[in-house]
């Protein structure tokens, strides 16, 4: 793979690096520059968690190559939240209206919303909701996000990144200052109930974690970096392109011999060493099918893992996945709930236990023969999925 030297201004600082032609901008920012405020939620340009500004326009950095950004300016949430006691109006509105919960989508949500306000200083609620279709949030229900964006629009300064407002103190700072004031008034005396009531009751409290998320400094699992970068290993899964199929053969010889590959593991390799996945809830008398970590004989849903590659970097792992050869015998799959209810529908799992329609308690359950079937997604051409494991 060819390598190219790029020069990109990131959050006001010019950065230079040598990257592979296939290196995506999101991975360049996160892995090469350590800008972890840009999050990877899907890698398929759907969730919007990786949204940044490229020369002033919002783009999803998982679908932009680093070489395409050569000579350009890239701004992330960190650009709006520099250290100090000032805060961008849009960030302040997100804080004030509690427009975040877990904070994973927040950097991309803010950067996307910022372009909307730059284009349309006074967007309607309908326009805001339409704009946010490219940014997924699984926590808030979007209402507080919409409220925050419209509130920022009312300030009439949301389109100017250089303007800022005084950042409200964090809950930690408020508690510290409150304690200091109390101690100075009555040295050594505990705060009175009236003082406690005025601090915590009858008024909104800022969440302690909001400040980190709103400054692009949240620490999610994928943001943790090993102190020994050279010792970090990456894994990628080969997934089934079929919803239901027999596995006739799996050949990993080519993958094991590729540069950077540490090992390749298949379902057959785990049969005698790794127990099946446990079932969360088992009814009395239920026969539980075996669910393997990796499929070994049959795949029963689209995307089921067949083999895992461990390599020195993510690209080497992904390349090795493509080199694994699998022989499939596709079988009829159930892809429609109405079709699954028919007597002649194909069975993905036998010896299952169904709950009778007249059952009112677990004691009414009885073993039956293959009356419950797993619905599967229709097959597509995609067969590889990558993720990272840091050890």
Looking at the structure, do residues 285 and 148 belong to the same domain, yes or no? no
Looking at the structure, do residues 183 and 161 belong to the same domain, yes or no? no
Half-sphere exposure in the Cβ direction for 189 (13 Å, CA)? 10
Looking at the structure, do residues 220 and 240 belong to the same domain, yes or no? no
Largest alpha-carbon pair distance within the chain?
82
Look at residue 54 and tell me if it is in a domain.
yes
pLDDT of residue 376: 39
Look at residue 249 and tell me if it is in a domain.
yes
Q: Of the candidates 200, 215, 242, which is a domain's last residue?
A: 200
Looking at the structure, do residues 161 and 184 belong to the same domain, yes or no? no
Looking at the structure, do residues 52 and 18 belong to the same domain, yes or no? yes
Looking at the structure, do residues 138 and 176 belong to the same domain, yes or no? no
pLDDT of residue 348: 65
Look at residue 366 and tell me if it is in a domain.
no
pLDDT of residue 97: 92
CATH of the domain at 111: 3.10.20.30
CATH of the domain at 322: 3.90.1170.50
> Which runs of E-coded beta strand occur in 31-107?
51-54, 57-60, 73-75, 86-87
Look at residue 284 and tell me if it is in a domain.
yes
Looking at the structure, do residues 254 and 164 belong to the same domain, yes or no? no
Integer angstrom CA distances of residue 355 from 109, 198, 352, 371: 43, 55, 10, 9
Structural domain including 121 reads 1-170+206-225
* pTM of model > 0.85: no
pLDDT of residue 344: 84
Look at residue 341 and tell me if it is in a domain.
no
Look at residue 340 and tell me if it is in a domain.
no
DSSP reduced 3-state for 322: helix
Looking at the structure, do residues 61 and 26 belong to the same domain, yes or no? yes
Looking at the structure, do residues 101 and 65 belong to the same domain, yes or no? yes
Looking at the structure, do residues 245 and 184 belong to the same domain, yes or no? no
Look at residue 98 and tell me if it is in a domain.
yes
What's the CA gap between 318 and 326, in Å, rounded?
A: 16
What's the CA gap between 48 and 134, in Å, rounded?
A: 6
Looking at the structure, do residues 257 and 211 belong to the same domain, yes or no? no
Looking at the structure, do residues 261 and 194 belong to the same domain, yes or no? no
What's the CA gap between 262 and 233, in Å, rounded?
A: 9
pLDDT of residue 174: 43
Cβ partners under 8 Å of residue 326, min gap 6: 238, 247, 249, 250, 251, 306, 307
pLDDT means per 10 residues, the chain with 391 residues, are: 93 95 95 93 90 96 96 94 74 93 95 95 96 93 95 69 42 42 47 61 81 90 81 93 94 96 95 85 79 90 95 93 97 86 77 40 36 39 42 36
The dihedral built from the CA positions of residue 168, 172, 173 and 176, taken in this order, carries a sign that is positive
Look at residue 135 and tell me if it is in a domain.
yes
Count of domains forming the chain: 3
Other CB atoms closer than 10 Å to residue 308's CB: what's the count? 22
């Amino acid at each position: 793979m060819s390598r190219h030297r790029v020069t990109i201004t990131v959050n006001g600082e010019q950065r230079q690096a040598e990257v592979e032609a296939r290196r995506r901008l999101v991975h360049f920012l996160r892995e090469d520059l350590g800008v972890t405020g840009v999050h990877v939620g899907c890698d398929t340009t759907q969730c919007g968690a990786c949204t940044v500004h490229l020369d002033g326009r919002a783009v999803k950095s998982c679908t932009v190559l680093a070489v395409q950004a050569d000579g350009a300016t890239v701004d992330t949430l960190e650009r709006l939240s520099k250290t100090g006691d000032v805060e961008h109006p849009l960030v302040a509105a997100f804080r004030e209206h509690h427009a975040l919960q877990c904070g994973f989508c927040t950097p991309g949500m803010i950067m996307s919303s910022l372009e909307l306000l730059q284009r349309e200083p006074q967007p309607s609620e309908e326009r805001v909701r339409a704009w946010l279709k490219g940014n997924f949030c699984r926590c808030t229900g979007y209402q507080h996000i919409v409220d925050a964006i419209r509130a920022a629009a009312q300030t009439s300064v949301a389109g100017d990144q250089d303007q800022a407002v005084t950042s409200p103190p964090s809950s930690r700072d408020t508690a510290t200052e409150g304690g200091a004031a109390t101690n100075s008034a009555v040295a050594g005396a505990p705060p009175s109930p009236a003082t406690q009531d005025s601090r915590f009751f009858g008024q909104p409290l800022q969440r302690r974690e909001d400040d980190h998320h709103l400054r692009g400094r949240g620490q999610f699992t994928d943001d943790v970096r090993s102190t020994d970068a050279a010792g970090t290993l990456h894994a990628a899964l080969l997934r089934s392109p079929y919803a239901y199929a027999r596995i006739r053969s799996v050949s990993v010889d080519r993958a094991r011999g590729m540069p950077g590959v540490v090992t390749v593991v298949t379902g057959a390799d785990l049969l005698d060493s790794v127990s099946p996945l446990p079932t969360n809830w088992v009814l009395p008398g239920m026969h539980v099918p075996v669910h393997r970590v990796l499929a070994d004989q049959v795949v029963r849903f689209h995307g089921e893992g067949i083999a895992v590659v461990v390599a020195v970097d993510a690209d080497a792992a992904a390349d090795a996945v493509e080199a694994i050869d699998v022989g499939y015998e596709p079988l009829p799959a159930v892809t429609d709930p109405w079709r699954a209810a028919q007597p002649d529908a194909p069975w993905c799992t036998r010896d299952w236990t169904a709950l009778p329609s007249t059952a009112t308690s677990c004691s009414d359950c009885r073993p039956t023969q293959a009356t419950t079937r797993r619905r599967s997604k229709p097959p597509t051409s995609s067969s590889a999925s990558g993720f990272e494991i840091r050890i």
